């Protein structure tokens, strides 16, 4: 059955930024498809709530509260996952973000922090995970899957996003380069996420004018839901996408430009 190729039975996934939003959605989607998950974020209470939902689906969950900006924790996260579950098959580099800021108000430190948070953390976790993934017994379809959560702002332009957009563009191209390095055993893909109704858009979600502007600027005339992204991640993590690597799957409601004008003035 074709739908069986979406199953993740017996596999183990690590997911960053999994206390809420897209990361939590991916954890639940993977659990529903049969995977055990290890989840990392800064807030233990949020992680425990996600883990409870995973366990309610009959799967196991490892909670690892930590700040991924401290790269040393990522090796420990991988070690703890393998110690708990005995294997590692899937990495979802979901953590990321950066507040929109006018160009001349964006300091070098802010720019480098955006790159570190959105790109370097993904590189470091993937590098720690890949040797373990290569040791995991897998079907002939491959040796595992890495999914990087990029953004539509990595390919479109709008004022205020020089740090975040540059970082997400780098993450998308790092995906292509890593895919070449990791083929044929491990597939590496990304998702170019559009405007999704999570806490990251709290300012928009609580302002009807801003929300309507964003919806009106999206060809599919709605904001994305967490499940829209989680389903895409499940596709890329599973054997359903066994002939896909080095690609960016755009789940963005059809955007070809920014859908919210921050109204930053001319220089």
Selecting among 164, 174, 175, 239, the annotated active-site residue is 164
Contact, 15 vs 41, CB < 8 A?
no
164 is catalytic: yes
Neighbours of 249 (CB within 10 A): 19
Residues with catalytic roles:
164
């Amino acid at each position: 059955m074709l739908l069986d190729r979406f199953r993740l039975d017996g596999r183990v996934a690590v997911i960053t930024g999994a206390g809420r939003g897209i990361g939590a959605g991916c954890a639940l989607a993977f659990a529903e498809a049969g995977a055990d998950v290890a989840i990392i974020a800064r807030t233990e209470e949020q992680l425990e709530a996600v883990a409870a939902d995973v366990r309610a689906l009959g799967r196991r969950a490892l909670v690892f509260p930590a700040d991924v900006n401290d790269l040393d924790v990522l090796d420990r996260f991988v070690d703890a996952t393998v110690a708990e579950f005995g294997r590692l098959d899937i990495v979802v580099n979901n953590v990321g973000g950066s507040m929109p800021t006018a160009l001349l108000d964006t300091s070098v430190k802010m720019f480098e922090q955006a790159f570190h948070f959105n790109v370097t953390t993904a590189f470091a976790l993937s590098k720690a995970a890949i040797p373990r993934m290569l040791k995991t017994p897998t079907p002939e379809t491959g040796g595992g899957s890495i999914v990087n959560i990029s953004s539509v702002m990595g390919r479109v332009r709008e004022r205020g996003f020089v740090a975040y957009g540059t970082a997400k563009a780098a993450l998308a191209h790092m995906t292509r380069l890593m895919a070449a390095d990791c083929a044929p055993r491990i597939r590496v893909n990304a998702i170019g996420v559009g405007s999704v109704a999570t806490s990251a858009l709290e300012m928009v979600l609580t302002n009807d004018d801003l929300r309507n502007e964003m919806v009106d600027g999206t060809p599919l005339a709605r904001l994305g839901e967490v499940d829209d992204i989680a389903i895409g991640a499940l596709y890329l993590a599973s054997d359903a996408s066994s002939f896909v690597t080095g690609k960016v799957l755009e789940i963005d409601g059809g955007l070809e430009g920014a859908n919210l004008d921050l109204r930053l003035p001319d220089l």
